[in-house]
Amino acid sequence: MAQQERGVRTRRAILEAAAVAFAEHGYTAATVADILRTAGVTKGAMYFHFDSKEALARGVLEVQTEQVLPEQEIKLQEVVDVAMAMTHRLVHEPLLRAGTRLSADPVAARRHRGGAWPLWGDLLTEFLTEAHERGETLAHVVPREVAELVVGALNGVHLYSQLETGLSDVEARVSTLLRHLLLSIARPAVLACLDVAPDRGARVVREVARMPASA
Amino acid sequence: MAQQERGVRTRRAILEAAAVAFAEHGYTAATVADILRTAGVTKGAMYFHFDSKEALARGVLEVQTEQVLPEQEIKLQEVVDVAMAMTHRLVHEPLLRAGTRLSADPVAARRHRGGAWPLWGDLLTEFLTEAHERGETLAHVVPREVAELVVGALNGVHLYSQLETGLSDVEARVSTLLRHLLLSIARPAVLACLDVAPDRGARVVREVARMPASA
């Protein structure tokens, strides 16, 4: 058990070192040697968890969608929560920032079929399909189309904020994006009940931290 | 005069070679030697136009905002036209694709203060401010906020389409984005007059090609 915990911590340390290297040098220029040095682990320890730079990139990308958020009475609130929690974590977790960068890196994206974006697209399509079936959305909404639109626009706003202000205003920018987009997605009665405040992500992430861990 | 034309052509050839190298290898890994080989020019010829890899990147970025589009009766149509013409050119001009990539590249963006995005942000803020003064927009619209939102979301949708379908559906995706966003930007009477069809960009670009060149 202690050994298993140590394994989890080592795996995380390697992923965080990879994230730093990818963010600093870009995917192509980052080397496994850099990553080993930053993580302070041996080559053998790294290859036990990840057998290539590609596997490291895949690991960094998968961190983005592994967090499960609390269910909400309105399904569209869960769409908002996914976007806002991801945005909040982006500010505080270098691992998530690296994933965003990797998804926009031409070489990494070719090797990993669009990075994390298709994973987000599938997740939001599922939520929007359920919202649509429950009658929360306007008649013209096509769930897959809107899901991919939200993922694209959200990542674009993340990149813009990262470049312009180092993410210091990213939660306000995403709140603005969602307020605008939801006007063309949600029925008015649903719209009035949604919480799209800039600090929504922080509150959802705190709630997750208080949830009992599942088996 | 013939010499001047030759200079313009050489400059363009160098920029296109740089665009290919940046798109293929990323900004950091691309080398000046690669660019010279692809362009088929001497080091001296290149340094006459661009004195560093940074200057080449700046040149690639500036191509994005140098095209002037026809004026329209409704100012918001010009906002749509900028987005749709840019999107159409992205499919057909490798130079523009490279600029989009550079703007999202962490190393290039740090060196060029956000790549081409601030240039687009300023241009759209100007158009949206005029649209707002003319009463074309809804009361809650803040021109700078909406302009940066549109630039971020537009670039995000470009990247998503580039990764997922190699840009084959990018004009349809941007048309969807604008239809959604405009519902929260334009007054209903203006909204009904806007042309946001997927082929709008192609038509605007053809119109520019027919315009008499200015002095």
Q: Indicate the range of B81-85, B106-110, B204-208 predicted with least confidence.
A: B106-110
Sign of the Cα pseudo-torsion (A133, A135, A140, A143, in order)? negative
Q: How far is CA A87 from CA A155, B78, B185, in A?
A: 9, 31, 24
pLDDT at A85: 96
Q: Give, in words, the CATH class of A2-62.
A: mainly alpha
Distance from CA of B117 to the nearest CA of A (A): 7
Of A69, A77, A86, A110, the C-alpha closest to A158 is A86
Measure CB to CB from residue A153 to each of B103, B107, B157 and give the nearest one. B157
CATH number of B63-210: 1.10.357.10
Q: Are the Cβ atoms of A106 and B148 closer than 8 angstroms?
A: no
CA–CA separation, B28 vs B37, rounded Å?
A: 18
CA–CA separation, B150 vs B142, rounded Å?
A: 12
Give the residue range(s) of CATH 1.10.10.60 domains in chain B.
2-61
Q: Are the Cβ atoms of A101 and B101 closer than 8 angstroms?
A: no
The letter for the amino acid at A209 is: A
Distance from CA of B185 to the nearest CA of A (A): 8
List the single residue in B with minimal CA-CA distance to A157: B152
List the single residue in B with minimal CA-CA distance to A177: B149
Enumerate the residues of chain A whose CB falls inside 8 A of the CB of residue B101. Answer: 106
Of B83, B76, B101, the C-alpha closest to B188 is B76
Give the residue range(s) of CATH 1.10.357.10 domains in chain A.
63-210
Residue B69 — very low, low, confident or very high, per pLDDT cuts 50/70/90? very high
Task: Give the pLDDT of chain A (215 residues) as one tens digit per residue.
Answer: 577 788 888 999 999 999 888 877 878 888 999 899 999 999 999 999 999 888 898 888 888 888 889 999 999 999 999 999 999 999 998 888 888 777 777 666 666 655 678 888 999 999 999 999 999 999 999 999 999 999 999 989 998 888 888 899 999 999 999 999 999 999 999 999 999 999 999 999 999 989 876 53
Q: Are the Cβ atoms of B161 and A153 closer than 8 angstroms?
A: no
Q: Are the Cβ atoms of A153 and B148 closer than 8 angstroms?
A: no
Terminal Cα-to-Cα distance of chain A (whole angstroms):
15
> For residue range B94-132, what is the model confidence (pLDDT) as tens digits?
888 888 777 777 666 666 655 678 888 999 999 999 999
What residues does A137 pair with on adjacent strands?
A: A186
Q: How far is CA B37 from CA A36, B21, B63, B150, in A?
A: 35, 10, 22, 38
Sequence-ordered list of residues with C-beta below 8 angstroms from that of A101, at least 6 positions apart, any chain: A22, A23, B106
Enumerate the residues of chain B whose CB falls inside 8 A of the CB of residue A177. Answer: 149, 152-153
When the pLDDT of each residue in chain B is averaged and rounded to a whole number, the result is 89
Enumerate the residues of chain B whose CB falls inside 8 A of the CB of residue A101. Answer: 106
Measure CB to CB from residue A160 to each of B148, B173, B183 and give the nearest one. B148
CB hemisphere CA count around B21 (13 angstroms):
23
Enumerate the residues of chain B whose CB falls inside 8 A of the CB of residue A150. Answer: none
CB B43 within 8 A of CB B166: no
Enumerate the residues of chain A whose CB falls inside 8 A of the CB of residue B151. Answer: 156, 160
Give the residue range(s) of CATH 1.10.10.60 domains in chain A.
2-62
pLDDT at A179: 95
Structurally, what CATH architecture does the domain formed by B2-61 represent? Answer: Orthogonal Bundle (1.10)
ipTM attached to this prediction: 0.81
